[in-house]
Amino acid sequence: METDKKLVLGLFGFGVVGEGVYSVLGKTPSLEATVRKVCIKNIGKKRNAPKELFTDQADVLLNDPEINVIVEMIDDADAAFRIVSTAMNNGKHVVSASKKMIAEHLPELLELQRSNKVSFLYEAACCASIPVIRNLEEYYDNDLLHSIHAVVNGSTNFILTRIFEDKLPFKDALLLAQQLGFAESNPTLDVEGYDALNKWSFLLTHAYGILPGRERLVFTGIQNVNELDAGVAAKKDCVIRLTAFAKKLNNGKVAAFVLPKFVKQDDLLAFVKNEYNGVVVESSFADKQFFYGKGAGSYPTASAVLSDISALRYHYKYEYKKLYYHTPGELSNDFYLKVYVGFTEWKQVPKNDFESIEEWHSNDRVNYLVGIIHFDKLRKSTWWKEDGVSLIVDADPLIESLDVTRLKKRSLELAGYNG
């Protein structure tokens, strides 16, 4: 695309994000981008834009030679992939906000970008308003990046905040997140951690060159976190956040997962409330850096889409530097995690899976233990995702190596615990 060539846009979707993008484009005339057509599913629905702009025929946009950029903001991952792949094959640049589609198809999307020599940008797909993809891609050299620790889902963070601060029941907090336009149309994707997993899988590609990560990542959401867990968290001077975590281990491999976590009140992520997202990056020399901003909602997401559209003016492309120019990172399952497990009955927890149990409480009010478990044991089991079991990682959860003999002894000494 020539620098002075006007951006002529074809938009797919006119929901929370699509309408937001249309609106912010109207407020940024300096971008000199015009919307030529908007493709929507339900053509009969009244919209806040001129009627003649809309069509329900995808090909009208995809085959229009005047349109040089497709902006895809629809909810259906399969349809989104068909749209963006056809657009790229037709020589159009693409901006997308479809995290599920990107997580499911990243290898094919990399090939489409390469073979068609087009840009495919998706800053809005992770942490909405926070420019985290471009920063990881451009700023942090592989060796400099020690760890990333983040809240990447606005809805679950909103729900946890409302439960902790207003004592709102889970269902009411979720309903509010839906009404405010933060949640996915299928909110299970938020609540059970799939949305965070999707985002984390491609963020790991930009951070460490790990591809694809999704199938191999251990994850869960906040579906089993309850008020008893919140009470334990408060006693430990912590809040609970659904966090995405990645850390380079001493052996050079990367530990990564998406799990609820006890976060100390003075931790930067405790400051991240409601629909906000936050990303704490630890790197050599710079120590800690903190990115913070709205992670869901119409305008915050639209701002990232707008920034991608604007980047097309100077031919910006992701280079996937960590994947192509460095030795790609490798996930490790060989480390330990310190975890809290809330449960209703002892038999739900296979105590022999633990290297050590440091705390356990079981009475008519609370049932929980705090113990150390090998990550691979967690990865290969599902008991911790069952109803009535809530697994929450400790405030400082990662242990690279253990003196197992010492731990077993200490475990046995603990208050006559024998399961």
- Residue 198 sits in the site that holds ligand HSE (CB under 6 A): no
Q: Please state, in angstroms and rounded to a whole number, the distance separating the CA atoms of residues 24 and 304.
A: 11
CA distance readout (Å), 299 to 124, 271, 307, 407:
11, 22, 12, 51
Interface with ligand HSE (CB under 6 A), residue from 13, 209, 293, 295: 295
Residue 296 binding ligand HSE, by CB under 6 A: yes
We find the least distance from the C-beta atom of residue 128 to ligand HSE, in angstroms, to be 5
CB of 295 to ligand HSE, least distance (A): 5
The alpha carbon of residue 152 and the mean position of all alpha carbons in its chain are separated, in whole angstroms, by 4
Paired tokens of 343: 């449960």
Which of 100, 199, 253, 261 is labelled catalytic? Answer: 199
- Closest residue to ligand HSE using C-beta atoms: 155
Establish if 300 lies at the interface with ligand HSE (CB under 6 A): no
Which one of the spans 179-187, 247-255, 372-380, 394-402 is the region binding ligand HSE (CB under 6 A)? Answer: 179-187
Q: Which parts of 147-166 interact with ligand HSE (CB under 6 A)?
A: 153-155
Closer of 86 and 155 to ligand HSE (Cβ): 155
**Beta-carbon contacts of residue 344 (< 8 Å; ≥ 6 apart):** 367, 388, 389
193 binds ligand HSE (CB under 6 A): no
Q: Residues 77, 299, 25, 60: what is their CA dihedral angle, to the nearest 10 degrees?
A: 20
183 binds ligand HSE (CB under 6 A): yes
Q: Choose, by CB under 6 A, the member of 137, 184, 192, 308 that binds ligand HSE.
A: 184
Measure the N-to-C terminal CA separation of the chain; round to a whole number of Å. Answer: 67
Residue of 19, 195, 308, 355 that binds ligand HSE (CB under 6 A): 195
Residue type, 225: V
Letters for 208-237 (x = contact with ligand HSE by CB under 6 A, - = none) are ------------------------------
CB contact at 8 A, 219 and 243: no
Any catalytic annotation for residue 385? Answer: no
Instruction: Specify the residue, 275 or 394, whose C-beta has the smaller distance to ligand HSE.
Output: 275
Residue from the set 95, 121, 128, 148 that interacts with ligand HSE by CB under 6 A: 128
Looking at the Cβ atoms of 96 and 153, the one nearer to ligand HSE is 153
Cα–Cα distances in angstroms (integers) from residue 170 to residues 162, 214, 244, 259, 416, in the given order: 8, 27, 21, 18, 36
Q: What binding mask, one character per residue, do residues 73-92 give for ligand HSE by CB under 6 A, x or -?
A: --------------------
Query: Is 305 or 349 the residue whose CB approaches ligand HSE more closely?
Result: 305
Q: Which range touches ligand HSE (CB under 6 A), out of 176-184, 265-273, 306-314, 357-365?
A: 176-184
Question: What does the alpha-carbon distance between residue 221 and residue 197 come to, in Å, rounded to a whole number?
Answer: 9
Question: Least distance to ligand HSE from the beta carbon of 164, Å?
Answer: 17
Q: Which is nearer to ligand HSE, 93 or 294 (CB)?
A: 294
Q: Which is nearer to ligand HSE, 128 or 163 (CB)?
A: 128
372: which 2 tokens? 């150390």
Query: SS3 for 222?
Result: coil
Per the listing, tokens 């609106």 go with: 23
Q: In sequence order, what are the beta bridge partners of 283? A: 145, 287
Q: Are 3 and 63 in contact (CB under 8 A)?
A: no
Closer by beta carbon to ligand HSE, 267 or else 275: 275
Rounded Cα gap, residues 324 and 128, in angstroms: 26
β-pairing verdict for 276-283 and 145-151: antiparallel
Least distance to ligand HSE, CB of residue 198, Å? 9
In whole angstroms, give the CA distance from residue 387 to residue 382. 11
Please report, as a single letter, which amino acid is at residue 253.
Answer: K
**Inter-axis angle of helices 154-166 and 227-235, to 10 degrees?**
70
Please report how close the Cβ of residue 150 comes to ligand HSE at its closest, in angstroms.
12
Closest residue by Cα to residue 223 from 98, 77, 346, 384: 384
Q: How far is the CB of 377 from ligand HSE (least distance, A)?
A: 30
- Residues near ligand HSE (CB under 6 A): 128, 153-155, 182-184, 190, 195, 295-296
Residues classed as catalytic? 199
